[in-house]
A and B are shown apart, each in its own frame.
Chain A
Amino acid sequence: MQRWLFFFCKMGKKSPVLCIGEEQPKNCFTELQVLKGHFDIVRFLVQIDDFRCASAGDDGLVLVWNVETGERLQELRGHSQQITAITTITCKNEVTLNTSLITASSDRSLSLWDPDTGNRVQTISDLHSSVKCLLVLERLCVWLSGGEELCVWNRDFQLQCQRPNHSDTGITALIELPKNYIAAAMDKKIMIYSLTVSADSSLSVAEIRCLSDHQDQIRALINVNDGLFASGSHMGELILWNATEWNLLAYEHILWEESQDYNQTEIRMGAPKPSEMSIQHLTTNGNLILAAVGSGLYVYSVQTRSVVAYRKVAHDSNVLHTMLLSDCELMSCSEDGSVRMWEIQDLPLPAEPASSGFFGMWSFGRSNKQSGPPSKKVIDIPNIRMLELTGDLIGHSGAVQMFVSFTEKGLVTCSADHLLILWKNGERQSRLRSLALFQKLEERGGL
């Protein structure tokens, strides 16, 4: 009840700008299952295989779920404090592909779990610091943990090498780059490490370069495609990097400035707060980069190096996680407790300037970034399109932290209200149930 109150007050401050209503013909999620089991905020979801997923959260529990039935398959207990990172690691075991889970927790331990049996296969405790991110390098059969130090481990949880770093915040994100390089986000910098395998198959890590073009703390770091990676910062900078040369390819500062005629009231509110521009999450499908900026969404095309579509107020509150389903469909979840589905549509009439946003757009010129006010209007950009809300999923009573899509099998969302919700296509489910019914009927030989 307290939560509701709080939630309501928080919501009450800002009237919902966007409302699709109850008629949502394009929304196929017409059935849901509430999965209970966690006792605290559920922060992470990870897909194990095509029908299982694992959820982890602040209660230190890792639960394995069957997405098809909604059953809880395993309960992985062992961590005494909140889970800070979770990832899967696949071992090619003679014939079978064996997927295990690696979890990191605030209790400064790392664990390897077998999701089939629920056993804790390996565990390392008493680390110097808690691990904030994990990266598995399937190619080298090693995995890395990032925190205040960068450690490289092999499959058997043996430390191969480690490298302390001197930043206060530690490594918040890790990605793999071509040629055994690794990019790590540390506060405002991106550090490039090289991983070298020496003759006696021992590994060593070396710092190669430090990229310090961001003005603020880096919030997101992703691989776009083989040649590109992208990073986003707290103040709305989106930088596209060359993955091999590590140089800056494009710099985009998302300021969310609306034109005067578009929304008079909003402009008077003054300069946008940095939290409204913060890039919370980045996702990509190789062609498009979807950035969750404050409570808005921003779609950026890699080819044209330009914005494709955007919506400043996509949610009532900060967007926490996004996903590109296809080139024109995307999904986002937010602190306001809803998941929204969007479609990138062409403007109904090309002549009509339906959206006219102010952007600070620079290419390769961050030196003059400070100099002028956002002056360049991007109204004339011919290929800007509309981000249309096609449906929303309302169920959680707390912030939706993350979601994982199992395509047609459904969508799993996890939330601060300790629940997971499994959203399914009602028609498909009903068809499956009918199938099961007639199977049972046949087995029994009649009613």
Chain B
Amino acid sequence: MIGSPDVVAFAKEDEYGQTSPDPWPLPEEFSVPLYPLADSNPWAKTSYAKFTKDFILISEFSEQVGPQPLLTIPDDPKVCGTFDLNYFSLRIMSVDYQASFVGHPPGTGYPRLSFVEDSRVVLGDSKEGAFAYVHHLTLYDLEARGFVRPFCMAYVAADEKKIMLQFQELSLRFSQASECLKAGNRRAFAKELQRKLRDLEYTHSVLQREEGLQREAGPQSMYSAHAVEKANELANVEKSIFEHRDLLKQISSYHRRPRRDPHAVTCQKCVDECLSECEELLNKYAKIAYPCGYSEKAGKGEDGQGHPRGQGEDDDDDEEEGVKRKLSYTPQLIKAKSAKCFDKRLKTLQELCDKTFYEATVALLKETERSFRGDLCYLYTRRLDKALQRKQRVTAFLFEEDLSDDDEDELGTLRPFCAVNHAVDNYVLLNPPPIVLTPEPHELDALERPEHLDPASETSVTQESELGLGESHLESSPSDQTLETQESSEETKGSFSSDKSGVGLAEMQQGLVSMKSEAPDPDSDLTPDPNHNLERESSSEEMETTAGEDEGETGGHQTPVSLLEVVSELEANREEECEGVSGSELLAPIDTACCMAQEGFLYEASAPEAVPRLCQNSHLQPSQTLVVNQEPQALLPLQDDYTVGSPCSESPVTGLELPSGLLGDAVSRTSAEDGSDCTMSASTGSDQTASPLGYGAVVTLRQRKKAGQGALRFVRQYPFAIQALWCLLSGRTLVVLGADEGRVRRLVAALALFVPAPGKCGERVQAWLSCPFTLTDLQRWKLIGLQRVASPLGSSMLYSLSRYSRYISILDADQTTLRCPPYRGQLLTNIADHRTYIRRGSTYFLHLQSTLCHLAAKAFLFTFTHHLHLPVSATEGPEVVESRRRCFLQEQLGLGEEDSQILLYLSQLITQQYLQPNGSSAAAPSFSFNYTTSILYKI
């Protein structure tokens, strides 16, 4: 064994004095710095703020009254408390960050619509204790000055770091909302233009007629003052028509412009629709009141020939049009002079956007607000949780709460938000940046692109790089030079750290250089030279990470930019593990990556000396890197096995508990909603469909935590709890029999935690059943609450119970007995100890989760280890495989007969899930059982 890798590894360590490479390196994304806020007390922070929780503020810079708040989300005056929204609006709207250029640029005759990208800044008011991510956007309004109305949406929070670190995510969300608003606005604007054009056209025709009449009435070649005035008016109207037509053209060309904003994901269908709509309009108005046609007619009129006919045609046209229009709109005469600026009523935001779009935006913002509830720590752990879960798709269905669609939206895929629900069919895969808790050297950004990639992920990489580019372009709108100067010159209170303005200056200089070298073309930024780009990238990097810089001495700790990289890293790690460890006899047969290696695979008995080393490693690691490790459990089953209860696996658990206490008020509303199941016990719904427990709906984490309390009570109360849990975990249907509905329902809710693969909405659990069940019910439900009735019906129910007694275990809630096969294993003593010291339900729930996670990991390993199920060579019979499987279960996992059954059942579930991921197959589900005698347990 001299050449075996582990020996070499040890030799190396001696020779070079290097620490041995960690055999189980943790994916960077899952590590949490031990004290991310080492210098500050996180609890002391929030007290300054005059508002209780984060909210979203929409403000407008009105051309009449200046900055004014429009609405807050949530729309509740209590949220803002004594916080001065007016003042804050003034602060955030005081600078026109977009600096839209309005008016007639040289060379064009008509007013131009300014196409400005949104700008994103973080502003702060440390005195007020308010920090905000501010998203400026511009909407078009025909009546507004320069046709634009500046708005901004701000996410206001008391925690500056939260905003800084969530910048990317916030930016994504608000971009979606902004895009939605703008899409609606463009529609509304086009409609308004259309109306205006119609009016103009009508005015034009009226004026024309008047002029014609005048000309007929008056002597030839004589122009009265009145006639001149009319002619001027006509010319004005014509000019106006041209202008508006041009505007229409501009607005319809909006979509064709290349977007510099990477976050501006738009729904392609919407765009297409809007485009075609606009084009239709354009065509229409190009035809009607065609300038040449008009001049021709005018010419004819001057000649005095055929004039009546022409006039008549015009009339006809008008009449026809009139008939068409009558239904919807009657054209109005446009006065030559528009109303004074301050007289007119400006449109509200609702009017500016299409109603559906407005509502969709508000809904989106509400969702955003909801998803950012809680403090940074909570958000972070939740995200880690989900990131982990997504990697465990194979096993996550067993015990984890299901990742619902909106979660998925929040994570892997970002769909272009679409108010009219086109979104379903066009997904854009984007990797939203992870929350960055620690500063990262920005060189990392470009490094570590995975080399080997399948074509599917290639696209996402390009998108990701676009995203990276976008970061650099965040501030590179044509106006950002002015922005920077303004920002650096102005003494803004605590918006960025001081070196930020220095960077801004440097960047400004850089920008000036580039301005000099290039023509002052606003589009020059589309093709930035690399230097420029790099500089900007560094600056944006700076901006992103300044928050963590002060205390960010976590040594070489790098947070991967995208999940994709993490995946590839993980894979690489696994390969390493495979290579590095396959020599050691213990790990070889159980390594997940080796499962597929069918031939040349040597199976030997475990070498126990490999174990302590492994164990040591996993214990040493945290102290070395000062990083709390949350282990990707499904991937490292053995390690789990040996670190049960060790501090390193416990700490994320305690860390997780923190937010639930801290954020009591943030989530109190939901808890009030969830907590209803206690009161429901009074209901007497005998219909099996009436399940007030909420198991018809998606079971939330909140509900599950609450059920943890019940489970803990069950475990402490019943000495045979362990047998009941074993029944559930080994796939034997448990029937909770009782006369009191509330009691049965509570028990079922508590025990539902232990049902493997309960389904998204708890389909495998029936909380209350009051009719005799059949075999199909047993097949469908793994946990049944059954009503005990004293009647002929009851006797038939009892008969069905005794008839199917071989398939079920019966927990009698009234007599507190349990009839089930005996369990003598050790696996569940951990979670079913009735002398447990755990006092709180949520703690027990987490404890349970970790144990179940271990189980799932073992089951995963067992399922995907080739030689445990299939013969290695052709000469082997099924008995050899069977004995090998038994040996694995007993000796390597240390499981007894009953414990093995749990694993076999979980493995079966995993196999089924893997073979039929969505559970939809034409075949009937199969139901396995075994023939064992049951014992009656009593208290």
Which residues of A line the B interface, CB within 8 A? Answer: 1, 4-5, 7-8, 11, 21-25, 27, 30-36, 66, 69-72, 391, 394-397, 417, 419, 421-422, 424, 426-427, 429-431, 433-438, 440-442, 446-447
- Which chain B residues border A424 with CB–CB below 8 Å? 926
Q: A438 near B870 (CB under 8 angstroms)?
A: yes
Q: A437 near B915 (CB under 8 angstroms)?
A: yes
Indicate with 1 or 0, residue by residue over B356-376, a CB within 8 angstroms of chain A CB atoms: 000000000000000000000
Check if B208 is an interface residue, CB within 8 A of chain A.
no
Which of A70, A397, A431 has a CB less than 8 Å from the CB of B869?
A: A431
Bound-state CA distance A27–B870 (Å) is 24
Q: A441 near B796 (CB under 8 angstroms)?
A: no
B652 to nearest A CB, angstroms? Answer: 24
Minimum CB distance partner of A397 in chain B: B774
Q: B394 near A394 (CB under 8 angstroms)?
A: no
Minimum CB distance partner of B771 in chain A: A1
Check if B933 is an interface residue, CB within 8 A of chain A.
yes
Indicate with 1 or 0, residue by residue over B905-921, a CB within 8 angstroms of chain A CB atoms: 00010011011000001
Sampled A-B contacts (20; CB under 8 Å)? A4-B800, A8-B799, A22-B933, A22-B934, A23-B931, A32-B927, A34-B924, A71-B921, A395-B775, A396-B775, A397-B803, A417-B774, A424-B926, A426-B928, A431-B869, A431-B878, A433-B912, A434-B911, A440-B915, A447-B394
Which of A70, A437, A441, A442 has a CB less than 8 Å from the CB of B924?
A: A70
Bound-state CA distance A395–B929 (Å) is 12
Q: B776 near A433 (CB under 8 angstroms)?
A: no
- Which chain B residues border A446 with CB–CB below 8 Å? 596
Bound-state CA distance A30–B931 (Å) is 8
- Which chain B residues border A394 with CB–CB below 8 Å? 803-804, 806
B182 to nearest A CB, angstroms? Answer: 42
Which of A8, A30, A437, A442 has a CB less than 8 Å from the CB of B929?
A: A30
Q: B772 near A1 (CB under 8 angstroms)?
A: yes
Given A33-B926, A35-B924, A70-B924, A22:B932 Cβ within 8 A = yes
Q: A21 near B925 (CB under 8 angstroms)?
A: no
Q: A1 near B796 (CB under 8 angstroms)?
A: yes
Bound-state CA distance A23–B932 (Å) is 5
Which of B596, B908, B933 has a CB less than 8 Å from the CB of A442?
A: B596
Bound-state CA distance A70–B922 (Å) is 8
Q: A434 near B930 (CB under 8 angstroms)?
A: no
Which of B771, B796, B915, B927 has a CB less than 8 Å from the CB of A31?
A: B927
Q: A33 near B923 (CB under 8 angstroms)?
A: yes
- Which chain B residues border A69 with CB–CB below 8 Å? 922-923
Given A430-B908, A433-B911, A433-B912, A30:B776 Cβ within 8 A = no
Question: For B795, B805, B921, B928, which residue has the most chain A Cβ atoms within 10 angstroms?
Answer: B928
- Which chain B residues border A395 with CB–CB below 8 Å? 775
Minimum CB distance partner of B882 in chain A: A427
- Which chain A residues border B775 with CB–CB below 8 Å? 32, 34, 395-397, 419, 421
Q: B870 near A435 (CB under 8 angstroms)?
A: yes
B763 to nearest A CB, angstroms? Answer: 16
Check if B52 is an interface residue, CB within 8 A of chain A.
no
Given A71-B923, A433-B911, A438-B869, A5:B793 Cβ within 8 A = yes
Q: A440 near B795 (CB under 8 angstroms)?
A: no
- Which chain A residues border B803 with CB–CB below 8 Å? 394, 397
**Which residues of B, 769-801, contact A by the 8 Å Cβ criterion?**
771-772, 774-776, 779, 792-793, 795-796, 799-800
Which of A8, A30, A421, A434 has a CB less than 8 Å from the CB of B796?
A: A8
Q: A434 near B926 (CB under 8 angstroms)?
A: no
Check if B863 is an interface residue, CB within 8 A of chain A.
yes
Pick the 10 closest A-B CB pairs, nearest first: A434-B869, A24-B931, A70-B923, A31-B928, A8-B799, A4-B796, A69-B923, A71-B923, A33-B924, A8-B796
Bound-state CA distance A33–B912 (Å) is 14
Bound-state CA distance A352–B804 (Å) is 36
Check if B726 is an interface residue, CB within 8 A of chain A.
no
Which of B911, B923, B933 has a CB less than 8 Å from the CB of A21?
A: B933
A306 to nearest B CB, angstroms? Answer: 34
- Which chain B residues border A72 with CB–CB below 8 Å? 922
B282 to nearest A CB, angstroms? Answer: 50
Which residues of B line the A interface, CB within 8 A? Answer: 394, 595-596, 771-772, 774-776, 779, 792-793, 795-796, 799-800, 803-806, 863-864, 866, 869-870, 878, 881-882, 904, 908, 911-912, 914-915, 921-934
A21 to nearest B CB, angstroms? Answer: 6
A275 to nearest B CB, angstroms? Answer: 24
Bound-state CA distance A426–B926 (Å) is 10
Q: A33 near B934 (CB under 8 angstroms)?
A: no
Question: For A66, A421, A424, A437, which residue has the most chain B Cβ atoms within 10 angstroms?
Answer: A437
Given contacts A30-B930, A447-B864, 18 further A-B pairs with CB under 8 A are: A4-B799, A11-B799, A22-B806, A22-B932, A22-B933, A23-B932, A27-B931, A30-B929, A32-B929, A33-B924, A34-B924, A396-B775, A424-B926, A426-B928, A430-B904, A431-B869, A431-B870, A433-B908
Minimum CB distance partner of A421 in chain B: B775
B775 to nearest A CB, angstroms? Answer: 5
Bound-state CA distance A6–B34 (Å) is 68
- Which chain B residues border A437 with CB–CB below 8 Å? 863-864, 869, 911, 914-915
- Which chain A residues border B776 with CB–CB below 8 Å? 34, 36, 419
Q: B914 near A440 (CB under 8 angstroms)?
A: yes
Which of B804, B806, B925 has a CB less than 8 Å from the CB of A33?
A: B925
A263 to nearest B CB, angstroms? Answer: 25
Q: B792 near A5 (CB under 8 angstroms)?
A: yes
Bound-state CA distance A25–B930 (Å) is 9
Bound-state CA distance A90–B484 (Å) is 89
Q: A31 near B863 (CB under 8 angstroms)?
A: no
Bound-state CA distance A329–B595 (Å) is 41
Given A22-B805, A394-B806, A397-B774, A438:B866 Cβ within 8 A = yes
Bound-state CA distance A444–B230 (Å) is 78
Minimum CB distance partner of B878 in chain A: A431
Question: For B869, B924, B932, which residue has the most chain A Cβ atoms within 10 angstroms?
Answer: B924
Bound-state CA distance A22–B927 (Å) is 17
Bound-state CA distance A204–B350 (Å) is 92
Bound-state CA distance A33–B780 (Å) is 11
- Which chain A residues border B804 with CB–CB below 8 Å? 394
Minimum CB distance partner of A6 in chain B: B796
Q: A391 near B926 (CB under 8 angstroms)?
A: no
Bound-state CA distance A14–B866 (Å) is 52
- Which chain A residues border B881 with CB–CB below 8 Å? 431
Bound-state CA distance A430–B870 (Å) is 11
- Which chain B residues border A8 with CB–CB below 8 Å? 795-796, 799
Bound-state CA distance A438–B872 (Å) is 13
Bound-state CA distance A436–B908 (Å) is 12
Q: B926 near A441 (CB under 8 angstroms)?
A: no
B186 to nearest A CB, angstroms? Answer: 44
Which of B771, B915, B927 has a CB less than 8 Å from the CB of A436?
A: B915
Q: A441 near B799 (CB under 8 angstroms)?
A: no
- Which chain A residues border B806 with CB–CB below 8 Å? 22, 394
A70 to nearest B CB, angstroms? Answer: 4
Minimum CB distance partner of B930 in chain A: A30
B929 to nearest A CB, angstroms? Answer: 6
- Which chain A residues border B793 with CB–CB below 8 Å? 1, 5
- Which chain B residues border A421 with CB–CB below 8 Å? 775
Bound-state CA distance A440–B596 (Å) is 11
B792 to nearest A CB, angstroms? Answer: 6
Bound-state CA distance A413–B922 (Å) is 20
Q: B926 near A70 (CB under 8 angstroms)?
A: yes
Which of A4, A25, A426, A430 has a CB less than 8 Å from the CB of B772?
A: A4
Q: B915 near A441 (CB under 8 angstroms)?
A: no
- Which chain B residues border A36 with CB–CB below 8 Å? 776, 924
Given A5-B796, A434-B869, A31:B931 Cβ within 8 A = no
Q: B394 near A391 (CB under 8 angstroms)?
A: no
Bound-state CA distance A447–B917 (Å) is 12
- Which chain B residues border A66 with CB–CB below 8 Å? 923
Bound-state CA distance A442–B914 (Å) is 13
B381 to nearest A CB, angstroms? Answer: 25
